[in-house]
Amino acid sequence: MKARITVTLKAGVLDPQGKAIEGSLAALGFDSVGAIRQGKVFDIDLDEADTERAGQLLQDMCEKLLANTVIEDYRVEFV
């Protein structure tokens, strides 16, 4: 089973990397960019046939390692 986990900073959390990318794009002439929030994506191959069990395993992975749930949100999708 394949899954994609997308981790992003929660709304209201300062995103200095996103601001740096935003400034760099403006310097390159991309003036129509309003704001950028950066994040990370994990593509995971999981040896689990049960979708419910796989979802629980992925959630546990996020809660324990892949996301800092104090400042980050995550979304799990099966692909």
Long-range contacts of 46-51 (CB under 8 A, 24+ apart): 46/1, 46/2, 46/3, 47/1, 48/1, 49/1, 51/1, 51/78
How would CATH label the architecture of 2-78? 2-Layer Sandwich (3.30)
pLDDT confidence of residue 9: 97
pLDDT confidence of residue 13: 96
Q: Supply the DSSP symbol for 53.
A: H
Domain ranges of the chain: 2-78
Tokens 């403006």, residue located: 26
CB 8 within 8 A of CB 69: no
Mean pLDDT (whole number) for 6-25: 96
- If you write DSSP's letter for every residue of 23-50 in order, what string do you get? HHHHHTT-TT------EEEEEEE-----
Mean pLDDT (whole number) for 63-70: 98
pLDDT confidence of residue 3: 98
